[in-house]
């Protein structure tokens, strides 16, 4: 069943998409700093969780049952990689970049959200910051 969205609903979707983009850009700024701290790593994780929350809200509202597992796997992978390194070194830069690209590639049109891009997660050794 295809339901038409109201202008208010469309504006809300646009607003949430802009918020996801803003948070993603903040993640990219943090992970590409010359030096990072433990607080920076925590900030990246917080922003990833905020984005997941926004996506789940939009999926539940616009398309109940939408599968966001692939995006969640990227967050889990980032946290796993980060747990193997020092507290002041971001080791999952490519995973964080892939996360940002993926969440911004999700299309929102009216009250329907198409299937998430299924991005294979690269092997661990490729994901290390050099």
Q: What is the pLDDT of residue 47?
A: 97
What predicted TM-score, i.e. pTM, was given to this entire model?
Answer: 0.75
Q: What is the pLDDT of residue 109?
A: 53
Choose among 71, 48, 47: nearest CA to 59. Answer: 71
Confidence of residue 25 (pLDDT cuts 50, 70, 90): very high
Q: What is the pLDDT of residue 32?
A: 93
The mean pLDDT of 14-39, rounded to a whole number, is 92
User: 3-22: per-residue pLDDT in tens?
Assistant: 556 777 778 888 888 999 99
Domain boundaries in the chain?
A: 7-118
Confidence of residue 1 (pLDDT cuts 50, 70, 90): very low
Residue with tokens 């892939």: 98
Alpha helices, H only, the chain: 7-31, 38-62, 69-83, 93-105
pLDDT above 50: residue 110: no
User: 70-104: per-residue pLDDT in tens?
Assistant: 888 888 888 888 776 666 677 788 889 989 998 88
């Amino acid at each position: 069943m295809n339901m038409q969205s109201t202008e208010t609903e469309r504006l809300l979707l646009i607003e949430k998409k802009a918020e996801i983009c803003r948070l993603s850009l903040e993640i990219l700024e943090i992970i590409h700093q010359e030096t990072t701290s433990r607080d920076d790593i925590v900030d990246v994780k917080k922003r990833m969780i905020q984005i997941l929350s926004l996506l789940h809200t939009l999926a539940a509202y616009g398309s109940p049952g939408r599968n966001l597992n692939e995006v969640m796997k990227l967050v889990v992978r980032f946290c796993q990689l980060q747990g193997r390194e020092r507290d002041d070194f971001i080791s999952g830069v490519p995973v964080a970049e892939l996360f940002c690209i993926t969440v911004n590639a999700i299309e929102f049109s009216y009250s329907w959200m198409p299937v998430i891009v299924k991005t294979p997660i690269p092997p661990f050794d490729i994901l290390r910051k050099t």
